[in-house]
Homo-oligomer: A and B are copies of this chain.
Amino acid sequence: MASFDIAHLTQSLHAVRREWREAHGRSQEPGAREFPSREALATIVDQLKGALFPMRLGPHDLRQESEDIFVAHQLDTALHALLGQIRLELRLGGAHSSLSADAMALDIARAFAEALPQIRRLLDSDVLAAFHGDPAARSVDEVLLCYPGVLAMVHHRLAHQLYLLGQPLLARIVAELAHGQTGIDIHPGAQIGRGFFIDHGTGVVIGETAIIGERVRLYQAVTLGAKRFPTDEQGQLRKGLPRHPVVEDDVVIYAGATILGRVTLGRGAVIGGNVWVTYDVPAGVHVTQAHARERRQPAQEVAA
């Protein structure tokens, strides 16, 4: 006798899938899976890392004389693969003819490509920030190879570009690849200026409409999230409104601090560890737990 009644089990799972598809108007699935692939994007991001930092994140035996040849090949491979993934996301939208989707995909991929030199410049500034921000760092190379905060920013700056170009799903996958590896969860929509540094990083959450200036420094478990006032709403969440903090240049936010809602931390402000902030902080002010406690509002919930 067989160990398992696979045929029956297969039928039961088939029935559950049919239920789901009928409930969601999907009984007509396309022939083949037409969905962006986490594995494909992981490969693309790895290739782009090699193209951006060939002598550090490229193959271990790369020689400087071969850099440009390697970079050209990585770009060529990665951009064509990305083009394919962009097509898949555009088609999911469903409004496009296949032809116009292809043309649009090419425009988007080209715009993404053109942004790469500027992304490298921004990442250089992040690497320097990490090097200067951590007394333990011995070289910029160490920072690029070891620091999870730098890895998260490489992913974020690529993901943000995809987000700006109208590819939120691809952007999200790129961001989650870093989140899984580092415990740092930055929404691709967040706008982050040059010289940004997250130390340690595990548990950091940065929301979609956050705006962060230049030379900002964060430690682990910092949340830049949204406030929610359920009683003020008639059961309807309004989307897309600015709901996360604005952090101006040269701000430092220590570990475990929580900043909620569309508040502004003024230039050079310092937020102490574990502090809870739901109000504007003027430029240059140091907020400690003691200060913070006095200012707390009576009812609040946190979600990024």
Q: Is A96 an interface residue (CB 8 A)?
A: no
Task: Find chain B residues with CB under 8 A from A126 CB.
Answer: none
Q: Is A42 an interface residue (CB 8 A)?
A: no
Task: Find chain B residues with CB under 8 A from A208 CB.
Answer: 136
- Among A110-129, those with CB < 8 Å from B are 110, 113-114, 116-117, 120-121, 124
With contact pairs A69-B6, A258-B255, A273-B301 given, residues A12 and B80 touching in the complex (Cβ less than 8 Å): no
For A31-49 the 0/1 string (1 means CB < 8 A from B) is 1110111111000000000
With contact pairs A33-B62, A301-B254 given, residues A14 and B272 touching in the complex (Cβ less than 8 Å): no
Pair B219/A270 contact, Cβ less than 8 Å = no
Pair B172/A142 contact, Cβ less than 8 Å = yes
Pair B276/A274 contact, Cβ less than 8 Å = yes
A302 to B257, CA, bound (A): 10
- Among A1-19, those with CB < 8 Å from B are 1-4, 6-7, 9-17, 19
Q: Is A300 an interface residue (CB 8 A)?
A: yes
Pair B258/A273 contact, Cβ less than 8 Å = yes
A103 to chain B, nearest CB (A): 11
Q: Select from chain B the residue with minimum beta-carbon distance to A176.
A: B146
Neighbour of A205 across the interface among B15, B55, B202, CB < 8 A: B202
With contact pairs A33-B62, A142-B172 given, residues A199 and B303 touching in the complex (Cβ less than 8 Å): yes
A209 to B13, CA, bound (A): 30
Neighbour of A296 across the interface among B17, B138, B289, CB < 8 A: B289
Copies in the complex: 6
A39 to B31, CA, bound (A): 25
For A178-196 the 0/1 string (1 means CB < 8 A from B) is 0111110101000000000
Give the B-binding residues of A (Cβ under 8 A): 1-4, 6-7, 9-17, 19-20, 24, 29-33, 35-40, 51-52, 54-56, 58, 60-73, 75-76, 79-80, 83, 92, 106, 109-110, 113-114, 116-117, 120-121, 124, 135-136, 138-142, 145-148, 168-169, 172-173, 176, 179-183, 185, 187, 199-203, 205, 208, 219-221, 223, 225, 228, 230, 237, 239, 252, 254-256, 258, 260, 270, 272-274, 276, 286, 288-290, 296, 298-304
The contact sample of 16 A-B pairs, CB cut-off 8 A, is A4-B75, A7-B72, A9-B75, A11-B68, A14-B71, A17-B54, A17-B67, A33-B60, A33-B62, A72-B73, A135-B239, A180-B182, A203-B221, A220-B223, A225-B273, A260-B273
